[in-house]
Chains A and B, each alone.
Chain A
Amino acid sequence: MKKIILGLSLIFSFNSCDYLETEPTGNFSIGGFYKNDKEVESALRGVYRALSNNMLYGANMQGIMGLSADLGYESYSRDRTTVGYNYVFSTDERVLSFWRYLYIGIGRANLLLENLDKAPIDEERKKTIRGEALFLRAYNYFMLVKHFRRIPLILASAKSAEPEYTQIDQSAPEEVYEQIIKDMEEAEQLVISAEGLYGGGQINKSAVNGVLARVCLTMAGEPVNRKDMYAKAEFYAKRVITSGLHELNSSYEDIFKRYSEDKYDIQESIWELEYWGDNTVYYSAGMVGRNTGIASPAGSSLGFCQGFLRATGYLYNLYGNGDLRRDWCIGSFTYHTTTLAKQPIADVEIWNRYCAKFRREYELTSPKQNNATPINFPMLRYADVLLMYAEAHFNNAEANVADNDFAIECMNMVRRRGYGLDIHVENTNVDYVYDGLQGFMQEIQEERARELAFELLRKDDLVRWGKYYSQMQYVKNIVPNNYTEAVVYFGNVEEKGVMWPIPSYEMGVNRKLVQNTGW
């Protein structure tokens, strides 16, 4: 009996609390994270990674979400009932993932921003990390507000899953834009300069200024129509130009070959999302050049390309004779399915050509994975900044007239480069001469199409110009009937398509949400 009692008391002698105390292995607890450089840097990389995820720029946005609008249409009949064909439903999985991953990035940024202060790391680095996280969070909101308009604006991490952190009202688009601009302006003060940067992977002052210009231009257009923002747009674009750090790459095609070759060019490519390897060891590759590009067979030395996106005849015809950008943006050949030889396409065949901006052919590593590419994606190019400057300047009621010539010169530099000319030498055959705001706007809209086709800006541009539906209808009417996929793609466009519906999943779990009108 005594022995038993002894045994019993032995068993109970160690503290019961210790026995029940278990710590997760393989993961950090939130409270125990951000305690050194390594952890804080990985938290920052997490924010970048969310944006580069395959649900966003990594794959879905590449050709299969209708973002190239009138310039390229999806041709992959199995996708006909998806957003890739402008067939939009509130249950569309890509639309839901788009929403989801942008908010994942926001959540990561929020948590990092809150914990940064207590992190025992170098103060200078802390400053730039804060800037990068602030900018990326704002950029994610920019993407959300453009596509869903009224969205919950969440600027602090959820402390728990209690309703106060989950049931959140939508904010008016204008309010979201104000926050975006506020955060980006703060970020601009914190991040490093582009000067001396090896590549455009890290958020730098030029990237922030350039994107700020884009945000302000967007806010000035539909649906917010804050015309006063043109001034700000002009200001920020000009800041990039006058920094003296940037210059157009003299060769248009070299810009895109460099993405494939993993070479950087901070002068032209101010901000890019970085992809690496082929996902076999580290999951950090994307599908740029795999989804869109000139179709090539699986397992081939070129690397597999699905070729989801075909350029429209409308885009083809926008290019003037001698514009070198045409045959880089739009494939003038196809690869033979077995020999891989380049087979030229008949000149008249202009509605069936592949979007060819990103080409796996130039990837340096081998063998190439079918479904993973290391090709970086341009988020902001200097050419875009120049064009935005011109557009903002002429729309800015308060603009300094003395800058008119400079603004036109900015636009013309881009044009000259497109024709392979010296960008700084006037050329009457190529140069645009200002002919009033209306004519200018027509020209800038077409110039942006020529220069920035398939860089996922087109739909947003058309929407802010208030031209999305009419332009899609215009192209719909010129699509030859025998291009079935294009007919379906344009046929599905509806007026409410300027925005996507709030995903029905989200509506079900956040009961404060109100659906977008028309959806």
Chain B
Amino acid sequence: MKFNIFVKLLQIVLFVGAICLSNKVFAQQKIVKAKVVDTSTGLPLAGVIIQTKGDADSRTVSNKKGEFTIVTDHADILVASYIGYESTEIQVSTFASSLIRLTPSVKSLDEVVVVAYGEQQRKDITGSVSAVNMDDLTKAPVTSFDQALQGRVAGVTLTSNDGQLGEDLNVVIRGSNSVTQSNSPLYVVDGFPTEDFSAGTVNPNDIASISILKDASATAIYGSRGANGVVIIETKSGKTGPIKIGYSGSAGFQDVVKTMDVMDPYNYVKYMLELNPNMSEVFFPSGTSLTLDDYKSKPMIDWQDQLFRKAPMHNHYMSMSGGTQQTRYWISGSVADQNGVIDHSRYTRYSGQMRLDQRISKKLNLDMNLSYTSDRTNGAVASELSESAAQSQQYQSYLMFRVWSYRPVLIDGTTYDDMFEDISSLSNLNPIMSNANELREVNRNNLRFNAKLQYKITPDLSFTVRGGIMQAQSETDRFYNSKTYSGFPSANNGRGVNGSYDIYKRKEMLGEGMFDYKKVYYRDHTISLLGGFSMQSYDIDRAGHTVWHIPYEEFGMAGLSNGRANSIISLIEENRLMSGLARLNYSYKSRYMLTSTFRADGSSKFAKNKRWGYFPSVALAWNLHEETFMQSFKFIDDAKLRVSWGATGNNRVDNYASKGMIGVDEFYSFNNQTPANAARIISLENTKLSWETTYQSNIGYDMNMFNNRVSLTLDLYRKTSEDLLLNADLPYSTGLANAFRNVGSVRNEGLEIALGTVNIHKKDFRWNSDFNISFNRSKVLSLTDGQEKLFSSVRFTGDFNSTNLYVTEVGGPITAFYGLVYDGVYQLSDFETRQGGYTLKPSVPANGIDRNNIQPGDPKFVDFNGDGTITDADNVPIGRALPIHSGGLNNNFEYKNLSLNVFFQWNYGNKIMNANRITLEGNYHNIAINQYASYADRWSMDNQDSNIPRTRAQGPTGFYSDRTLEDGSYVRLKTVQLSYNFSKELLKTLKISNASINIACHNLFTWTNYSGIDPEVSVRNSTLTTGFDYSAYARNRIITAGLKLNL
């Protein structure tokens, strides 16, 4: 009887569905009666919420047998949602069954996860693989996914130089292995592995999934390139069904979260007079009766207000998808236009993506994917050094420095316009004017094409051929006219008006073939085998020129041909990789699982007989909840223990790193003849250069509890990298500065915890949380040839360029800050008074300069070696450069049609070298510039409690100290998104299937003790030189309003 009813129902639904497909949709009320079951077990699910999409009032709940009844329209979409399961949408018009199958959701072990060369059910995975929740990620109003990734996944750290537009973030998985080389992971985009990946080339809305492979079991199949972890990105493909059109867009603005307080006119003038009494003529011109106090009432010009703006931005994304059994497609396009908070900076991007899945025959399947991105970045780089300055003055060439240090007040008799156009000298060159006149434009084009042909030889065995090409091109135009810092005609500017053009082209090609075999033996034994080969080539081509003394600056870039060519770059390089790989997965009743992989890689980068590397891995997993002894723990739904070990490699060295090379790019002239080429030694041959190998062990535990309301993943790892590919510092007595060698060893150990909870799950209100935290500890086991310490410096300004700011010590972390320990300022008690002057007591150590010149208020440092003065030998490690832990907390609230996402992210325990304070809270060259407001509290005879050095303080030059080393810990309210789903009544009249509006904020608030602009900073970022801040500007706060529509 029941059966008959269902048959009838089915017929009706089919009939209606047919009408819907062939005709325009017409509204007709219908009663839907169905049962909800679990996909895998087939068991009924009670308490499932079913509602018409966009209409919270229509809610109903399934009974104990999983059954429900709902009154709906034929045109409607039903949504079935249940804790721990993916929400499922059912098109009423095409609903042809009485069963609704719900698939366990992200938090469940049955989720399908994309892994290397395929996908796997989470319960069968033996390695450590994290899937990024794309729903949450795309709630951030950003143009590329990496900007929203920080704090989302345990073990994944992202750092950026500063808030620069269009700049990619540096991603590090489970700590840095490589000391001098890149630690960025391998990216696999739709099956195409690449080391050079720019997150800006994939629209976040096009991404179906991001998987992060962390342990060796997961990554070893990428062999020589897997040691830094692997990020697998799969783009969306169409689904069988009617055409779907989606739009999402947002508009809003960005502004700066924080500006620095600089001294006001009164404090500025007061300081100038202390610095140089002769300046009184400037501030109190003869004939006026001005006094210092008059400057208290003078209006202050905060140049930051002139530089920064509230910058509008808007993003639009549109997609069209659908398909039949034979052909499925996904086409999308997007536009992003983002003005930067720094005047004249802008980022625009256009992207398009097309994906086609075509079933050619029962056995043959073709999958093609084409994507194109074109973006443009305009504007100065705030933390970039300009070479136009003399070495010792380079610190003055940075944009933010000049904005902060520029005179904050009008001098009598001058106007703002005078000051704006004051180009009398470099240090008086108005930074706002300079910025407005600079041209810096980067145009990038990125093309990616992938094709995959899959042939099913037998039902169990298939063969896949994949081919792909990736082409990236980047063009950089720079032009500096006479009103810019670099082009301004000054004594040190040997370039005059100058410009440059640079083009960089990269082409990567991939070809691979893979056999895939999967069979179940005797019902309980599942074996799958993968084997194949892969070849990849990589070519780069770079060309460019720099032109000086451009006579007609009004022509801009077109006038480069009139100037004098200075340098011409032409560079062509290539490398090749050839590999064979195999993987075995064995599973007994999905209870005991084994994965073993092997890869052999040959790379052209290495010495001839050291080219091939072999990378094995093995992993075991045990689904404990399948065991009878676990039956007594009713609250545990799933529990899995994973153990893995494997070896992975790193090949990130120069393309010809093993070769000894001679260049002929210098010139010398004899007897006034035209100079001829002179040879120089570029590098030494290294016939032993080979892979860096990382051995990683991982123990993991996954558990779901309380009807999947709580899910927990724990991972404990240790990875030891040996034969580090080190661009080792050489003694200059070799005639060279560096050479690539396989030396040294580094260990990283860590713990990652990810916890997901469903806190509240009521009919009208739901609250889910995801929390993750990761701890990583690095330890250097050995360095070059028994070397105990490795020092690193950053390029900042002449006096400091060769000063060691970081130390890598055997037994210590991979990098740590290094410098003098600040001991406050010299106080009167440190001196003997003699003939009205102050002479340092013999017992008090000098600070590195002649002790006769030291005065009260000068900086004082700890004299560790007790030699009575400060020298290099007094430098010691002064602080952590890497955080102790970092993590994120994500919350989703849903109340009726409203949903709210709140995401926090933090870093704890690292320090930052705030080098801004060297020049702006101490003015180490004692030139006539403004200072941070904090400098008003400097030491003076009237203010002897201060720790900030006096005006004209004398101290050693080119030394960093912990005076300017600050705690970089922070907690940031990274993303907040509030969205509202429109009710169906409204949408029905508009013929829209669903629509939502949202307000999203990014970088809303930061809690930190860091006194600089932003604690998420590293303007000279590399493994060894992290956390240096000079002239960086803040991450922008973004606030947008958005709309999502689906037709």
Q: Which residues of A contact B (CB under 8 A)?
A: 1, 4, 7-8, 11-12, 16, 19-22, 24-31, 33, 39, 41-43, 45-46, 48-50, 52, 78-79, 81-82, 87, 89-91, 93, 96, 99-100, 103-108, 110-111, 151-152, 154, 157-163, 165-168, 198-199, 201-202, 262, 264, 274-277, 279-284, 297-299, 304, 306, 369-372, 491-492, 503-506, 508-511
Can you list 22 A-B pairs with a CB-CB distance of less than 8 A?
Answer: A20-B576, A30-B662, A42-B677, A45-B666, A46-B679, A52-B668, A78-B393, A99-B733, A103-B732, A105-B735, A107-B681, A107-B736, A276-B672, A276-B675, A280-B548, A282-B667, A284-B668, A284-B669, A306-B491, A370-B494, A491-B850, A508-B790
Of all chain B residues, which has the CB nearest A111?
Answer: B681
Would you list which residues of chain B between 707 and 740 have a CB under 8 Å from chain A? 728-737, 739-740
Output the least CB separation between B693 and chain A (Å).
19
Closest A-chain residue to B852, C-beta based?
A: A491
Number of B interface residues in the complex (CB < 8 A): 101
Determine which residue in A39, A50, A264, A370 has the highest number of CB atoms from chain B within 10 A of its CB, and name it: A370
> Does B631 lie at the interface of the complex (its beta carbon under 8 Å from any beta carbon of A)?
no
Contact B734 A41 (CB under 8 A): no
* Complex CA distance for A42 and B489, rounded to whole angstroms: 36
Nearest residue, chain B, Cβ from A197: B671
Q: Mark B681-703, 1 if CB is under 8 A from A, else 0.
A: 11011111000000000000000
Contact A100 B661, beta carbon cutoff 8 Å: no
Task: Say whether B533 faces chain A, with CB atoms less than 8 Å apart.
Answer: yes
Q: How far is the CB of B620 from chain A (nearest CB, A)?
A: 32
Cα–Cα, bound, A262→B786 (Å): 52
The verdict on B549 contacting chain A, using a C-beta distance below 8 Å, is yes
Interface residue from A11, A89, A370 paired with B513 (Cβ < 8 Å): A11
Asked if residues A78 and B734 are in contact (CB atoms below 8 Å), the reply is no
Q: Is the CB of A31 within 8 A of B660?
A: yes
Please tell me which one of the listed residues B733, B741, B789, B956 contacts residue A103 in the complex, with CB atoms under 8 A apart.
B733
Q: Which residue of A lies closest to B563 (CB)?
A: A280
Q: Choose the segment among B333-341, B795-803, B838-846 that binds chain A (4+ C-beta atoms closer than 8 Å).
A: B795-803
User: Who on chain B is nearest to A95 by CB?
Assistant: B802
Whole-angstrom CA separation of A491 from B853 in the bound complex: 10
- State whether B735 touches A89 (Cβ < 8 A): no
Q: How distant is the Cα of A154 from the Cα of B735 in the complex, in angstroms?
A: 10
Q: Once the chains bind, are B735 and A281 in contact (CB under 8 Å)? A: no
Given contacts A45-B678, A93-B798, contact A82 B872 (CB under 8 A): no
C-alpha gap A304/B737 in the complex (Å) = 33
Not counting A27-B661, A280-B565, a sample of 9 additional A-B residue pairs whose C-beta atoms are within 8 angstroms of each other reads: A4-B465, A27-B663, A45-B668, A46-B679, A103-B735, A298-B493, A370-B492, A491-B850, A511-B786
**Residue of A106, A165, A264 most packed against chain B (CB within 10 A):** A165
B466 within 8 A of A: no
Assess the B729–A509 pair: CB atoms within 8 A: yes
Measured CA separation A8–B533 after assembly (Å) = 9
Q: Measured between C-beta atoms, what is the minimum distance from A138 to chain B in Å?
A: 16
Which residues of the other chain, A, contact B788 by a CB distance below 8 angstroms?
A: 511
With contacts A160-B685, A276-B669 known, is A165 near B734, CB below 8 A?
A: yes
Mark each residue of chain B from 572 to 612: 1 if its CB lies under 8 Å from any CB of chain A, else 0: 11111010000000000000000000000011100000010
CA distance A274 to B667 in the complex (A): 11
Chain A residues positioned under 8 Å from B603 (CB to CB): 20
Given contacts A25-B572, A78-B390, A89-B956, contact A283 B667 (CB under 8 A): yes
Question: A-contacting residues of B (Cβ < 8 Å)?
Answer: 390-393, 455, 457, 463, 465, 489-494, 496, 511, 513, 533, 535, 548-549, 564-566, 570-576, 578, 602-604, 611, 655-656, 659-664, 666-672, 674-682, 684-688, 728-737, 739-741, 785-791, 798-799, 801-804, 848-850, 853, 871-872, 925, 956-958
Which of A20, A279, A510, A511 gathers the greatest number of chain B CB atoms within 10 Å? A20
The 9 closest A-B pairs by CB, nearest first: A107-B735, A371-B494, A161-B739, A81-B957, A276-B669, A30-B660, A45-B678, A510-B731, A100-B732
Q: A16-B578, A48-B678 are in contact. Are A22 and B656 (CB under 8 A)?
A: yes
Q: Which residue of chain B lies nearest to A20 when distances are taken between CB atoms in the complex? A: B604
List, in ascending order, chain B residues with CB within 8 A of A199's CB: 670-672
Compute how far the CA of A151 lies from the CA of B5 in the bound complex, rounded to whole angstroms.
Answer: 100
Residues in chain A near residue B733, CB distance under 8 A: 99, 103, 151-152, 154, 168, 506, 510
B734 partner, pick from A19, A96, A161, A371, beta carbons under 8 A? A161
Residues of B within 8 A of A48 (CB): 668, 678
> Shortest Cβ distance from A439 into chain B, in angstroms?
36
Contact check, A4 vs B493: say whether CB atoms are below 8 A apart: no
Chain B residues in 8 Å Cβ range of A43: 662, 679
Name the A residues within 8 Å of B687 (CB-CB): 160
With a CB–CB cut-off of 8 A, which chain A residues contact B574?
Answer: 22
Chain B residues with Cβ below 8 Å from A4 are 455, 463, 465, 513
Contact residues in A for B801 (Cβ distance below 8 Å)? 93
Answer whether A81 and B661 are a contact pair too, CB < 8 Å, given A90-B872, A93-B798: no
CB contact under 8 A between A158 and B535, given known A42-B664, A284-B669? no
How far, in angstroms, from A91 to B735 measured CA to CA in the complex? 19
Task: Check B791–A508 contact: CB distance below 8 A.
Answer: yes
Question: Contact: A274 with B668, CB < 8 Å?
Answer: yes
B227 to chain A minimum Cβ distance, whole angstroms, is 20
Q: Is the CB of B925 within 8 A of A20?
A: no
Report A-chain residues with C-beta under 8 Å of the C-beta of B728: 161
Shortest C-beta distance, B1024 to chain A (Å), equals 14
A369–B498 CA distance with the chains assembled, in angstroms = 14
Which residue of chain A has the shortest Cβ distance to B959 in the bound complex? Answer: A91
Complex contacts, B675 vs chain A, CB 8 Å: 276-277, 282, 284
Q: Contacts A1-B457, A4-B463 given: A29-B678 contact, CB under 8 Å?
A: no
Name the contact of A89 in the complex, choosing from B489, B575, B871 (C-beta under 8 A).
Answer: B871
- The answer on a CB contact under 8 Å between B602 and A16 is yes
CB distance from B686 to the nearest CB of A (A): 6
**Minimum C-beta distance from A120 to chain B (A):** 17
Min CB distance A303 to B, Å, is: 11
Given A26-B571, A492-B850, A108:B681 Cβ within 8 A: yes
Q: Which residue of B lies closest to A108 (CB)?
A: B681
Contact call B677/A30, Cβ cutoff below 8 A: no
| A28-B661, A46-B680, A284-B675 as given contacts; A108 in contact with B735, CB under 8 Å | yes
* Distance between B741 CB and nearest chain A CB, rounded to angstroms: 5
How many Å from the CB of B783 to the closest CB on chain A?
10
Known contacts A33-B679, A166-B734, A276-B672: does B872 contact A91 (CB below 8 Å)?
A: yes
The answer to whether B494 and A29 have CB atoms under 8 Å apart is no
A506 in contact with B785 (CB, 8 Å): no
Residues of the A chain whose Cβ atoms lie less than 8 Å from the Cβ of B791: 505, 508
Contact B656 A24 (CB under 8 A): yes
Contact partners of A282 in chain B: CB under 8 A: 667, 669, 674-675
Cβ contact of B604, chosen from A21, A274, A281, cutoff 8 A = A21
